[in-house]
Amino acid sequence: MQILSLSLSNYRIFKRLEMDFPQRLTLLVGNNAQGKTSILEAIHFLSIFTSPLASSDREAINLLALKEEIPVGRIVGGIQKAGKKHTLEIRLILNPAQNGSGRLRKEVLIDGVKKKLFDAVGFFNSVLFLPQMTRILEDGPEERRKYIDQLLSQAYPGYVRALSDYQAALSRRNALLKLLFDKGGDEGQLAYWDEMIATNGATIIEARIKSISDFEEYFREQFRRLTGSREEIRLDYQPSYNGENQANRQLELGINQSASNPFGYAEIRENFLARLKTLRREEIRRGVTTIGPHRDEIRFFSNDIDLGVFGSRGQIRTAVMALKIAETQWLKDKSGELPVLLLDETLAELDELRRADLLNSLGLDEQAILTTTDLKLFSPDFAKTCQVWQVAEGRVEKSNSG
């Protein structure tokens, strides 16, 4: 899979931008705050249909464009996939609303034909590597859930739909729980929402169980390679739908053996529903849904040490790097094509050895786009194989490499 061209309008710092990319390596060079990362963000946007950086996608629209009557940000990628050329376009349209704060609408077009987001996600795959991704290990569980969700949404089209239905039902269920606590009323109203979150929740949990155990193999292999087999990594997925530690431990076994899992969709759904019923009193009192995939946790263990708690800076960086390389391989095996690699300032963070290792493994088969503030981080030999683009103040210019 390749990206051949990118055109942006009203996206972040870019009023307009036109770029093309060679088959293998591209280097974006420029000082900080010139738009390098925004280019990678835009390309990754084409994969996951949401910004990997912004807390709200509307932030991605150019500030000046916000003054226009209907602000529209646009990302158009020329994609090569299975030997065929396609255009993938995303429009971010800020609908003017009566009271100032407009609603953001996203449109996705493949080859000029409007598609539903759910149907189009996974059309173009890319793997993004940002220095701040150590957060996946260091920060709260929501970072890890977001990471897993973005990964799975590229591989399983149905996953995004279940996730979005789950969120919709969850917010309504929480509203109802509060309503029942404040004003009382018939608890029977909960039955439908219990059903909705258990059904969609089970789809999500089942996908997470299956894919995390599958993905763990790839991850473990990369981590072993990067640490010279000195460290053994393990992913501990802790779904939150039954709250019984015993059952969780069983589940853990299932993951580690990565054999056929006894925890199928029907069983998860049933347990989830039963648990919701026993928790009903307490949930009404607290006014929130206390179990479900929105409370799931994934821990990273290296030689049985929890990296999120005890990991050194170096260990965590290595884990993230292994994660990203594993992601590339995994997506390749899922979709049949290598995803596009997007590496932001990654090399500055790595020591000499790891840097050489990463560069050697790069660009043999896959397309990679790297950003750097300093071209000197790369050997002249390496730079010669790259197309170099200079990025400054929201403008780009091709320059000769090396």
Partner 1 sequence: MAILPEPLEKLMLAFERLPGIGPKTASRLAFYMLRAPAEVSADLAEALKDIKISTALCKVCFNITAAGRDLCDICAAPERDNGLVCVVEEPMDVLALERTAGFAGRYHVLHGALSPIEGIGPDNLRIAELEDRVKEGRIREIIVATNPSMEGDATALYLRQRLETYPVHLTRLARGLPVGGDLEYADQSTLLRALAGRQDL
Q: Which residues bind partner 1 (CB under 8 A)?
A: 98, 116, 118-119, 158, 161, 168-169, 171-173, 175-176, 179, 183, 185-186, 188-189, 191-193, 195-196
What are the tokens at 250? 């069983």
* Distance of closest approach, residue 109 Cβ to partner 1, in angstroms: 15
Cβ(165)–Cβ(315) under 8 Å? no
Beta strands in 82-183 (DSSP E): 84-95, 103-110, 113-115, 126-129
* Distance of closest approach, residue 173 Cβ to partner 1, in angstroms: 7
* Distance of closest approach, residue 200 Cβ to partner 1, in angstroms: 11
Q: Closer CB to partner 1, residue 178 or residue 354?
A: 178
Cα(269)–Cα(197) distance, rounded to whole angstroms? 9
Q: Closer CB to partner 1, residue 84 or residue 116?
A: 116
Q: Closer CB to partner 1, residue 176 or residue 323?
A: 176
84 alpha carbon, distance to own chain's centre? 25
Q: Which residue has the tokens 């705050």?
A: 33
∠ CA 233-235-238, nearest 5°, is 155
Cβ(81)–Cβ(1) under 8 Å? yes
What are the tokens at 282? 């307490």
* Distance of closest approach, residue 167 Cβ to partner 1, in angstroms: 12
∠ CA 377-383-385, nearest 5°, is 150
Q: Closer CB to partner 1, residue 190 or residue 386?
A: 190
Identify which of 298, 308, 302, 305 has the alpha carbon closest to the alpha carbon of residue 233. 302
Q: Closer CB to partner 1, residue 204 or residue 323?
A: 204
What are the tokens at 7? 């055109």
Q: Closer CB to partner 1, residue 292 or residue 311?
A: 292
Identify which of 372, 343, 369, 387 has the alpha carbon closest to the alpha carbon of residue 401. 387
**Sequence-separated (6 or more) residues with CB below 8 Å from residue 188:** none
* Distance of closest approach, residue 115 Cβ to partner 1, in angstroms: 10
* Distance of closest approach, residue 119 Cβ to partner 1, in angstroms: 7
* Distance of closest approach, residue 110 Cβ to partner 1, in angstroms: 14
* Distance of closest approach, residue 189 Cβ to partner 1, in angstroms: 6
Q: Closer CB to partner 1, residue 189 or residue 312?
A: 189
Cα(339)–Cα(273) distance, rounded to whole angstroms? 38
Q: Closer CB to partner 1, residue 176 or residue 212?
A: 176
One-letter identity of residue 42: A
